[in-house]
């Protein structure tokens, strides 16, 4: 579904990604792991067209490496940024409306689905996003992207700084997303969650993919974990 080959990305003069290769299949959950600063967020941003990039990015058989972010989104790629970047001055409902690509409802998700999955969002539907708790903001950020009905959603560090109970909720949402036939590319710090829900995992180091395997391969390879993941 998503096939990235020899992806390079740049912030001005600094050359951050130096040839990244990976793929995500239809209906798959794939995790992108690595220590802070190795370029996981940059990889996602490069796919969205939010940073300067070179290389091949194929999505549903179409080359999207030259498209602008809004065009990439219209191809069916969803992006959930890190830091829970909701629109703080707009209400929860307005945030969700902005996730939709057109006025017409349709697609896999409705606002009602979101409110059923997270009753807390329904209670706060007319509250400004900026006053929600961290966990609520994280739900809202993911739901906002889902309202655009992506076929593959890239989620950047969704559980960072969340209480264990909320982390469980988020993990539950990932399963719901997969059940509706949406693929997930997940950037996740918490190894336990990534191993639990992913079909395959990639590990990044210094702007490249340094390991690829199933959850079992990661569990069994202590040397790799020590070199590339543990702090």
Partner 1 sequence: MLELVVFSSLNGVLYGMLLFLLASGLTLIFSMMGVLNFAHASFYMLGAYFGFQISRYIGFWPGLVVAPLLVGVIGALVERYGLRTVHKHGHVAELLFTFGLAFIVEELVQMVWGKIPVDYRIPGALNFSAFTLFDTTFPAYRMFMLLMSIGIFLGLLVLLTRTRVGLIIQAALTHPNIVGTLGHNVPLVFMMVFGVGCGLAALAGVIAGPALVTQPAMAASLGPILFVVVVVGGLGSLSGAFVASLLIGLIQTFAVALNISLADVMAHLGVTLTRESFGGDLWMATVAQVAPIIPYLLLVLVLIFRPHGLMGNRDT
Ligand X SMILES: Nc1ncnc2c1ncn2[C@@H]1O[C@H](COP(=O)(O)OP(=O)(O)O)[C@@H](O)[C@H]1O
Using the minimum distance from each CB to ligand X, give the nearer residue, 17 or 162.
17
SS3 192: helix
Residue 94 binding: pick among partner 1, ligand X, Mg ion, none (C-beta 5-8 Å cut-off by kind)? partner 1
Residue 125 contacts partner 1 per CB under 8 A: no
Residue 107 has which token pair? 């697609």
Strands 29-33 and 200-205: parallel
**Ranges within 19-48 binding partner 1 (CB under 8 A):** 48
Which of ligand X, partner 1, Mg ion, none is residue 11 near (CB under 5 to 8 Å by kind)? ligand X
Residue 218's contacts (CB-CB under 8 Å, 6 or more residues apart) are 191, 195, 201, 203, 211, 224, 225
Applying CB under 6 A, which residues contact ligand X? 11, 14, 16, 34, 36-42
Q: Give the one residue of 34, 135, 148, 207 binding partner 1; rule: CB under 8 A.
A: 148
Residue number, 40 or 84, with CB nearest to ligand X: 40
The residues, any chain, with a CB within 8 Å of residue 225's CB and separated by 6 or more, are 191, 218
Judged by beta carbon, residue 39 or residue 76, the one nearer ligand X is 39
Q: Binder to partner 1 among 97, 125, 195, 210 (CB under 8 A)?
A: 97
Nearest to 75 by CA among 167, 2, 175: 2
DSSP character at residue 133: -
- Residue 95 as a binder of Mg ion (CB under 5 A): the answer is no
Q: Which is nearer to partner 1, 65 or 218 (CB)?
A: 65
H or E segment to which residue 53 belongs? strand 52-59
CA distances from 73 to 70, 145, 146, 170, 207 (A): 5, 10, 11, 22, 24
Which stretches of the chain bind partner 1, using CB under 8 A? 48, 50, 68-70, 72-74, 79, 81, 85, 87, 89-90, 94, 97-99, 101, 103, 144-145, 148
């Amino acid at each position: 579904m998503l096939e990235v080959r020899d992806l390079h990305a740049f912030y001005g003069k600094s050359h951050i990604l130096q040839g990244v290769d990976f793929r995500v299949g239809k209906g798959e959950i794939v995790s992108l792991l690595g220590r802070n600063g190795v370029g996981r967020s940059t990889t996602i941003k490069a796919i969205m067209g939010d940073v300067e990039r070179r290389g091949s990015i194929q999505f549903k058989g179409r080359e999207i490496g030259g498209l602008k972010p809004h065009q990439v989104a219209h191809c069916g790629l969803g992006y959930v940024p890190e830091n829970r970047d909701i629109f703080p001055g707009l209400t929860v409902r307005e945030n969700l409306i902005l996730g939709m690509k057109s006025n017409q409802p349709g697609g896999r998700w409705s606002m009602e689905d979101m409110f059923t999955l997270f009753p807390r969002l329904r209670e706060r539907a007319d509250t400004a996003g900026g006053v929600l708790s961290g966990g609520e903001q994280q739900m809202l950020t993911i739901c906002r992207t889902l309202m655009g009905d992506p076929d593959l959603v890239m989620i950047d560090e969704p559980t960072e700084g969340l209480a264990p109970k909320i982390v469980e909720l988020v993990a539950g949402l990932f399963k719901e997303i997969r059940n509706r036939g949406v693929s997930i590319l997940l950037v996740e710090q918490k190894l336990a969650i990534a191993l639990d829900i992913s079909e395959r995992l990639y590990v990044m180091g210094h702007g490249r993919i340094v390991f690829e395997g199933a959850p079992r391969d990661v569990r069994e390879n202590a040397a790799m974990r020590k070199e590339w993941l543990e702090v």
